[in-house]
Amino acid sequence: MKRLSRRALLRSSGLAGLGLLAACTVTTTHGVTTITLDVAKVKNYGQAGLNAATTVTSFLSTLPVMAPYALAITAAETALSGALSAFSSAAGSTLTISYNDASWKTRVDSILSDLDTLSAAIESAIAGSGAALTAPALSNAKTVYGALATLISVFKALLGVADAKAPAASHMRVTRAMVLAGAPVPATGMTEVRALAVLGVR
């Protein structure tokens, strides 16, 4: 019987396009750890953030009382858009980058920082909405926030970056191994694939 490679198996089962292949590879040689990132995956995380901002501001745009929150989200969205454009321009047709390279690290960290800022702005809007948002809109905003929080946790785990907002309990922390295995983020219950789908990134 012919053996199928993992890639062939994923292709034949229709799973190859779902982002289940590794977003990064990690190698250690002579004590030096090198992280290689998939450029498309970094772009997807950034686009997911932009989509989250657009979705939540659409809920807030008709509510004058929520204007300060909408402005904060829009400011974070603008910064993220700039960081993502700079990264995309620098990457060009490059498929992978080394996070160990100082220039690429700066660009990737900028996207991650802007995602964090955006997440905090959305979280503040949800907390400050009171009765202003309808129940369906509030539920949708919370789902969007959960998806964004999931991707940020996944992104940080892949990069080996400490997450200041990570739960204290060790069983709730996200590890690179969990992400590469496609496991859900304990704090949100969402997988990376699910979070990307929620935020309109395939």
Q: What pLDDT, in 10s, does the model give residues 94-147?
A: 999 999 999 999 999 999 999 999 999 999 999 999 999 999 999 999 999 999
Domain count of the chain?
A: 1
Q: Is the residue at 132 inside a domain?
A: yes
Q: What pLDDT, in 10s, does the model give residues 9-46?
A: 333 333 333 333 457 888 878 777 789 999 999 999 99
Q: Is the residue at 1 inside a domain?
A: no
Range of the domain at 161: 6-198
Q: Alpha helices, DSSP H only, in the chain?
A: 6-12, 39-60, 67-91, 102-128, 135-159, 176-180, 192-198
pTM of the predicted model, to two decimals?
0.84
125 burial level (CB within 10 Å; 0-12, 13-18, 19+): buried
Q: What pLDDT, in 10s, does the model give residues 145-155?
A: 999 999 999 99
Q: What pLDDT does residue 5 have?
A: 38
Q: Is the residue at 179 inside a domain?
A: yes
